A and B are shown apart, each in its own frame.
Chain A
C-alpha cells in the first residue's frame, strides 16, 4: 500500500473545511504576539522585583553577618568563662569536702569561707550550706550550725536544708530557744574554741583563722 496515498474525496473535503475553519483569523498573529509581549514584560518586571529583593536581603546580611559573628563570639567566650567558673567553684567545694572527710575540719571550714567570698550565686550557696553544717557539726558546734541554717532559711525560704533546722547534726538540739535567747551571744562550750569569723553569704568578718 502506498503510504502517502491521498484521502478519499469525502474525507478530503471534510479536512479542507476543517483546515479553513481552523486557520488563524487575520488578526490572530498580531493579537497573540501582543499578549505574549505583555506577559513577557510582566514576567521581566517580576524577575526584576525579585532581583531587587534579593539584593536588599544580601545588603542587610552583609551588615548583620559581622554583628552576628561578634555576638556569637561574645556568647561563646561568655560560656567558656562560665564553664571555667563553675569548674573552679566545684573544685573548691570538692576540696572542702575532702578536707572534712580526712579530718581537717578547720581547713575545710576555711575553704568554705573562701568559697563564699568568691562565689556569690544562690546555687553555690545551696551546695555550700550542706558542707558548712557538716563542718560545724564535726567541730562539735551544732548550735552554730543551727544558727547558720536559720539565717540561711531567712534569706532562702525555699532551701532544701529547711528540714535540717532544729537537728543540724542529725539529732534534735533539745528545747528550742526563745527569741530573746537567740539574740544573746553564743556561749562557747568547754574545750571548743569559738569560730573567729562570721560565716555567711553576705559578709565574712574576722581574719584570724586558727590552724
Chain B
C-alpha cells in the first residue's frame, strides 16, 4: 500500500468497524503489526491540516475509544508507505504495548485556566514595582523605555507562572482523593495553564463531581474550562 494516515494503535483484537471512514472520507483499515493493530486510511499524500480534517481524525480515534482505550496518533503522522509505518511500529512494539496497558480503561480530562486580564498590556499595573503607570510616554523608542518594557514583560511572565502554579496546586489538593496521572502545559495569554488528567473511566463521575465542587468553592477570578472525556492524547507515546 502506498501512503497511509495513522489514527491510533490498539490491541490486535480490535480492528475498526466495517464502513468507518476518516480523513477525506477515506476508509479506515486495521492492520496487524506484531501484537498490535494500527488503524490507518490509505492516502496518497499527507493530508493538509485544517479543522475539518482534525475533526475527522478525532472521530476515528473516538470510535476506537468506544471499544478500547487506544494510543492515539496525532494528526500529522502520515507515512509514504504502509511498510515504513509498520516497521516503525514494530521497532517500538514493546513500548507501545506498555503504553496501551498504561492507558487501558482510562480517559483524559482537560482543565484550562485563563486570566481575564491576561491579554491586557503589561503596563496595566499588575506587573509589580517596575510598572511605570500610564505608558503613553514620548520616549517609547528610547533605550530606557525598551528596558522598562522588557522588565514589565518579565514580571508579567513570572506573575502568570506563579498564578498558574498556584491554581494547579489548589486543584491538586481538591482532587487528591483520586489516583490519576497529570500533565501540565503553560499556554499563551490570556491562558494561564492547562492541565490534563488521565482518570480511570470508572472514576469519571467522581472526577466530575470534584471538579464541580472545585468550581463552586474557588475564590480566584480566573476563568476555568473543563473538557472531556478525551482519548488520552496528552499521555501518548511521543
A, B from the same assembly: no
* A residues whose Cβ falls under 8 Å from a Cβ of B: none
* B residues whose Cβ falls under 8 Å from a Cβ of A: none
